[in-house]
A and B are shown apart, each in its own frame.
Chain A
Amino acid sequence: MSQTGAIGIIRAGVPARRGWLEGGSPVRQTLQRLSRNRLAVTGISLLLVILAAALLAGLLSPYDPLKMTVTDRLKGPSRVHWMGTDNFGRDIFSRVLHGARLSLEVGVAVMLLTTAAGIAFGMLSGYFRRLDNAIMRVMDAMMAFPAILLAIAIMAVLGPKTVNVVIALSIVYAPRTVRIVRASVLAIRGLDYIEAVRAQAAGHLRILFRHVLPNSLSPLVVQATFNFAYAVLAEASLSFVGAGAPPPTPSWGNILSEGRIYMQAAPWITLFPGLAIAGTVLGLNLAGDGLRDVLDPRMKT
């Protein structure tokens, strides 16, 4: 990490006019550094495998994830059923593959929504000082509720649907992103070059989106990765306590939840979806740590 401090930050803020395949572009530099970070490469590879499994679930699944075959109930892992079957004789491997879809969909949606909310409210709060106090007190209040409990309460009110899981988790996890964007906007807005842009009579919107936002990107990208991870874990927790996506839609959380009663007789029902959740979250955490090391040398873990 030769580039540190303000110089690195300001460079990244120059809009990438040149094609990003050219050697000097910030995006390409970041990708190059990322490819040399072993943790990040491991994490991203793990995620790509899981993403492929989710996208190709229809092709890869040997069975229909909802099809019940009573004669095959509670069978252990074998060549016929790689991860065994559950109490209805449904194939766990097929269910875990299809569950990946739901988990990743929820994760990506929550990541995008929290990022959008973070950008909007974080920039408003950090840039327009008059709004700051009001927005931040609301965020404090939202963060005063224990995350999972708030998500469960919102689910109770909105009803058990996948889209509501996304809404609930986005509400719960957005305040962290808002804080992070605000902090980096506060750090940037006082810098000389923003003054210079303002002196050129640039409008607020132009300053915010063209100059302030690009400079907030590093912490934002890192936080987005972690929000994805939180969302996957929280979705599974919600499904596990029966406040998530309704059955029979396979989700990692509700496969686990249904398999819990048969834990002694058929531990494989809970083992494999658990491994899938842990693998996904591990991949995201590794990628997030790697990104942080690459993008923000001062925050090295």
Chain B
Amino acid sequence: MTSYILRRLLGVIPVLALVAIAAFLLIHLVPGDPAMVMLGSDASPQQVQALRAQLGLDRSLPVQFIVWLRLVLRGNLGDSFFLGRPVTQALIERLPATMQLAVLSLILSLLIGVPAGLIAAVRQNTWWDQLVMATAIGGISVPSFWLGLAMILVFSVQLGWLPSGGYTPLWENLWQGLRSLTLPAVSLGAMQAALIARMTRSSMLEVLRQDYVRTARSKGLGHWLVVLKHALKNAMIPVITTIGTAFGVLLGGAVVVEIVFTFPGLGRLVVLAVQRRDYPLVQGALLLTSVIYVAVNLAVDLLYCVCDPRIKYE
């Protein structure tokens, strides 16, 4: 197992290296001169030249990459043009809000998806099953931002139950924080909840057909005891492996949902950065989220290998 963990840890290095190269090359995909594009058409040649020097664009590509990478490894992602301060600072300030949103969405989607899929599997081909599966396929078809807008209209405007936007950190005021996170988290998590419900159902159906479940039943164990204690544990394995991926999707999806709820997270920062062609900021956000994603996936894999002794270490 130790060698598996080691190999898994080492395997992260080439992926992170490629992620860094991709993020670095992004600026170089800009058609024409990035400095000119960033400054606009009315910039003087001196200004363009100065920015080119600042970005290091006047040096060769490999040299630029090494210079950039050394800075990045020290946590320096450059300066944002429009915020006029370090990208790292701006990102770290916005990260907690987005992380709270993504984590809460993940928890919600598991809390909704797993029981729903379980009921659908146990009551296969009844109207329970049909209701869950119909809702689930609807859930994966509705765009998150549209669901968010609809919920604002119903729960904020009509009923006045929940705020339509804004953000209170959970550690400052738990109740207010949860209230401001509820609608964004539900609209972000709905699609993942639907996917998890579908996956739980199909995995559960497979497990319920297995011999050991029949043995447990024939021992005279109660129906729900068999389902919850014996079958669910094994049925959750494929669901758990997708948690890492789901988290990545939520982190990216947060960008769109944050716009709907005027939520001051990473996503809104990135969208502003895109509109202002603030490339270092876009680059930094991309790098940060992918590193988080790789780290979460690594953690899930390692936890998983500790929890499930049957996993193959190749």
Contact = CB atoms under 8 A, between A and B. Distances in A.
Interface of A: 137-138, 140-142, 144-150, 152-159, 229, 233, 236-237, 240-243, 256, 260, 263-264, 267, 270, 274, 277-279, 281-282, 285-286, 289, 300-301
Nearest to A155: B274
A158 B29 contact: yes
A158 B31 contact: yes
B41 to A, nearest CB: 14
Nearest to A137: B14
Contact of A278 (B146, B153, B275): B146
Interface centre among A137, A156, A237 (most CB of B within 10 A): A156
Interface string B264-290: 000100110111010100110110011
A241 B146 contact: no
B26 interface: yes
B152 interface: yes
A267 B158 CA distance: 12
Interface in B126-156: 137-138, 140-146, 149-150, 152-153
Interface stretch (B50-58, B81-89, B218-226, B251-259): B251-259
Contact of A148 (B18, B141, B256): B256
B153 A263 contact: yes
B22 interface: yes
A146 B293 contact: yes
Contacts of B251: 146, 149
B294 interface: yes
A236 B150 CA distance: 16
A275 to B, nearest CB: 9
A144 B293 contact: yes
Given A264-B157, A282-B138, A148 B271 contact: no
Contacts, number: 141
Given A141-B19, A270-B146, A241 B259 contact: yes
A141 B25 CA distance: 13
A157 B30 contact: yes
A301 B199 CA distance: 8
Interface centre among B149, B152, B285, B294 (most CB of A within 10 A): B149
Counting contact residues on chain B (CB < 8 A from A), the size range is 35 or more
Contacts of B286: 145, 149-150, 153
Contact of B141 (A140, A155, A281, A300): A281
B138 A148 contact: no
27 contacts: A144-B19, A144-B248, A147-B249, A148-B252, A148-B255, A149-B270, A149-B289, A153-B286, A156-B279, A156-B282, A229-B141, A236-B143, A237-B256, A240-B259, A242-B271, A242-B274, A256-B149, A264-B157, A270-B149, A278-B138, A278-B141, A279-B141, A282-B138, A285-B140, A289-B137, A300-B202, A301-B198
Nearest to B274: A156
B289 A146 contact: yes
B146 A147 contact: no
B140 A277 contact: no
B146 A256 contact: yes
Contacts of A240: 143, 145, 256, 259
B22 A243 contact: no
Given A152-B282, A278-B141, A281-B143, 8 more contacts: A141-B15, A145-B19, A152-B255, A152-B274, A153-B283, A240-B259, A256-B149, A270-B149
